[in-house]
Chains A and B, each alone.
Chain A
Amino acid sequence: MDDIKYTTHSHSVNKYDPEKDYGTPKKTSEKLVSLEIDGVTVSVPEGTSIMHAAQLSGVTVPKLCATDSLEAFGSCRLCLVEIEGRKGYPASCTTPVAEGIKVHTQTGKLADVRRGVMELYISDHPLDCLTCAANGDCELQDMAGAVGLREVRYGYEGENHLKAEKDESNPYFTFDPSKCIVCSRCVRACEETQGTFALTIEGRGFGSKVSAGNQLFMDSECVSCGACVQACPTATLMEKTVIDMGTPEHKVTTTCAYCGVGCSFNAEMKGEEVVRMSPNKDGGANHGHSCVKGRFAWGYATHKDRITTPMIRKSIHDEWQIVGWDEAIDYAASEIKRIEAKYGKDAMGGITSSRCTNEEVYVTQKLVRAVFGTNNVDTCARVCHSPTGYGLKQTIGESAGTQTFDSVMKSDVIMIIGANPTDGHPVFASQMKRRLREGAKLIIADPRAIDLVENSPHIRADYHLNLRPGTNVALISAIAHVVVTEGLVKEDFVKERCEWDSFVAWRDFVAKPENSPEAMEETIGVSATTMRAAARMFATNGNGAIYYGLGVTEHSQGSTMVMGIANLAMATGNVGREGVGINPLRGQNNVQGSCDMGSMPHEYPGYRHVSDPMAKALFEAAWGRPLSIEPGLRIPNMLDLAGEGRFKALYCVGEDIAQSDPNTQHVTHALESMECVIVQDLFLNETAMYAHVFFPGASFLEKSGTFTNAERRISPVRRVMAPKNIGKPELKEAGMEDWEITAKLSAALGYEMHYKHASEIMDEIAALTPTFKGVSFKKLDELGSIQWPCDDANPAGTPTMHIDQFVRGKGKFFITQYIPTTEKVNAKYPLILTTGRILSQYNVGAQTRRTANVAWHAEDVVEIHPHDASERGIREGDWIGINSRSGETVLRATLTERVQPGVIYTTFHHPESGANVITTDNGDWATNCPEFKVTAVQVTRVNQLSDWQKEYKTFAEAQIAYTGKTSDKKQKQPA
Chain B
Amino acid sequence: MQTDTLIKMANQIGDFFEAEPNQAQAQKDIANHLNKFWTKDMRNQIAAHVQTSQGVGLHAQVIAAIAAHLNP
A contact set with B: CB distance below 8 Å: 346, 505, 509, 556, 559-560, 601-602, 609, 611, 630-634, 637, 640-641, 644, 815-817, 819, 925-928
Contacts and interface: CB of A to CB of B under 8 A. Distances in A.
Nearest to B2: A640
Given A346-B41, A609-B36, A611-B36, A637 B16 contact: no
B15 A925 contact: yes
B33 to A, nearest CB: 7
Contact of A631 (B5, B18, B38): B38
B12 A925 contact: yes
Interface residues of B, number: 21
Nearest to A817: B19
Interface in B15-34: 15-16, 18-21, 33
Contacts of B40: 630
A640 B5 contact: yes
B36 A815 contact: no
Nearest to A390: B37
A556 B36 CA distance: 19
Contacts of A505: 21
A550 B12 CA distance: 20
A637 B21 CA distance: 31
A633 B41 CA distance: 10
Contacts of B33: 926
A637 B13 contact: no
B60 interface: no
Contacts of A633: 39
A633 B35 CA distance: 13
Most buried by A among B2, B13, B19: B19
B18 A817 contact: yes
Contact of A637 (B1, B12, B19, B35): B1
Contacts of A556: 12
Q: Closest 10 A-B residue pairs measured CB to CB?
A: A925-B12, A817-B19, A815-B19, A630-B40, A640-B1, A819-B15, A925-B16, A925-B13, A602-B37, A631-B37
B9 interface: yes
A632 B15 contact: no
Q: What is the interface of chain A mostly: helix, strand, loop, or mixed?
A: loop
Q: What is the interface of chain B mostly: helix, strand, loop, or mixed?
A: helix
Nearest to B22: A505
A560 B36 contact: no
19 contacts: A556-B12, A609-B36, A611-B35, A630-B39, A630-B40, A631-B36, A631-B37, A631-B38, A632-B39, A637-B1, A637-B39, A640-B2, A641-B1, A816-B19, A817-B15, A819-B15, A819-B16, A926-B33, A928-B9
A435 to B, nearest CB: 35
Interface in B27-71: 33, 35-42
Contacts of B2: 640, 644
A370 B16 CA distance: 34
Contacts of B36: 602, 609, 611, 631
A766 B40 CA distance: 31
Nearest to A921: B5
A511 to B, nearest CB: 13
Contacts of A602: 36-37
Nearest to B41: A346
Contacts of A560: 16
Nearest to A629: B40
A560 B18 CA distance: 13
Contacts of A925: 9, 12-13, 15-16
Contacts of A644: 1-2
Contacts of A630: 39-40
A896 to B, nearest CB: 34
Nearest to B35: A611
B28 to A, nearest CB: 15
B12 to A, nearest CB: 4
Contacts of A637: 1, 39, 42
Contacts of B39: 346, 601, 630-633, 637
Contacts of B42: 637
B4 to A, nearest CB: 11
Given A505-B21, A817-B19, A819-B15, 20 more contacts: A346-B39, A509-B19, A560-B16, A602-B37, A611-B35, A630-B39, A631-B36, A631-B38, A634-B37, A637-B1, A640-B5, A644-B2, A815-B19, A815-B20, A817-B16, A819-B16, A925-B13, A925-B15, A926-B13, A927-B37
